[in-house]
Amino acid sequence: MKILVLGGTAFVGRAFVECALRRNHEVTLFNRGMRNPGLFTDLETIVGDRTTDLSKLDERTWDVVFDSSGYLPLVVDASAQLCKQWAERYLFISSISVFKDLSRAGQDEDAELATLADPTIEEVTGETYGGLKALCEQVVAKELGDRALIVRPGLIVGPTDHTDRFTYWPARISRGGQVLVPDIKQQPVQFIDVRDLAEWCVELLEKRASGIYNATGPQNPYRFEEVMQACAEGTDAELAWVSPEFLAKHEVQPWADLPLVLDYDGSSNGMLQIDVSKALSACLNLRPLAETIQDTRAWALSRTDDHEWKAGLTPEREAELLSAWTAVR
């Protein structure tokens, strides 16, 4: 296939391009040339900004489009209108954040979507992200019809994840010693390795699939304790299970300070119990948890010592909290 990738040098796009090349597809990138410009130097790269000008794509055609960089409906609409003239498939990477009620477990592709009070808003925040992605989905479906392919990943993890939203745990636990972990042992956990997502997206395009798919896993979620223990396997780390009440009192923030933790009361746990049976029936394969942990850890430890972590506790803050926790136990 001839594939046009909108983006292609960041986390998800990068993994997709690498997979497509392994499967001998012809890939063209369209991006601003700002993120990881040294990647894929042998590929045709059309430098441009999709938010302002798509004219460099005029009078060109590709078989399919992979769009992992669309966040605003107007921007996605512009690319969808252009590409629908020739694209056999347009694959849009959305998010499970499109669902209206993230407290409900078992939501499938037909669950009610989030809406925005002002659908013209163009600022992507934690509050608007899901609603904007839902509008982007609607734009793609409207313009491409049965040629639209919409994939809704959950938390995407694995090597090259610059957000550290999962990476923190394998890397921190590998350093050993006493590790602060929240005592939410039964919290469900779902995520998808970026390499599994990329492989599956290429396969969907090869099969000319269409429709909407939730993409995370496993179908029966891991437990938080299970993930932490898997991260600790083969290390000398001692997991210190700290109560949510203590963490809340000391203003330790779920998600930002403690990745994989949506909240302490379980009110958002539905987001980690998504129904992915449709994707699994469409041959989505999920690698073993241990493999994702090991590969993510190896990549994280290959980074320079001055890497600025985007999520997780600093060593100083963790030590302070552990000392305080020991004093009150």
Which positions ≥6 away from 302 have C-beta within 8 Å?
Answer: none
pLDDT at 306: 87
Percentage of residues in the chain having pLDDT higher than 70: 100
**Domain locations along the chain:** 2-153, 168-189+221-269+288-328
Q: Measure the CA–CA gap between 205 and 1, rounded to whole angstroms.
A: 9
Instruction: State pLDDT tens for residues 275-324.
Output: 999 999 999 999 999 999 999 999 999 999 888 999 999 999 999 999 99
Largest CA distance in the chain: 69
The H or E element spanning position 139 is: helix 129-144
Instruction: State pLDDT tens for residues 239-266.
Output: 999 999 999 999 999 999 999 999 999 8
Which positions ≥6 away from 23 have C-beta within 8 Å?
Answer: 202, 206
pLDDT at 205: 98
| DSSP 8-state class, residue 113 | B
Instruction: State pLDDT tens for residues 176-194.
Output: 999 999 999 999 999 999 9
Structure tokens at 313: 């506790």
Question: pTM, whole model, 2 decimals?
Answer: 0.96
Residue 133 has pLDDT above 90, yes or no: yes
Q: Are the CB atoms for 309 and 240 separated by under 8 Å?
A: no
CATH hierarchy code of domain 2-153: 3.40.50.720
pLDDT at 155: 97
Instruction: State pLDDT tens for residues 21-32.
Output: 999 999 999 999
Which positions ≥6 away from 209 have C-beta within 8 Å?
Answer: 89, 149, 282
pLDDT at 166: 97
CA 266 to chain centre: 21
Task: Write the Ramachandran bin of 177: left for phi over 0, alpha for psi from -120 to 50, otherwise beta.
Answer: left
pLDDT at 305: 85
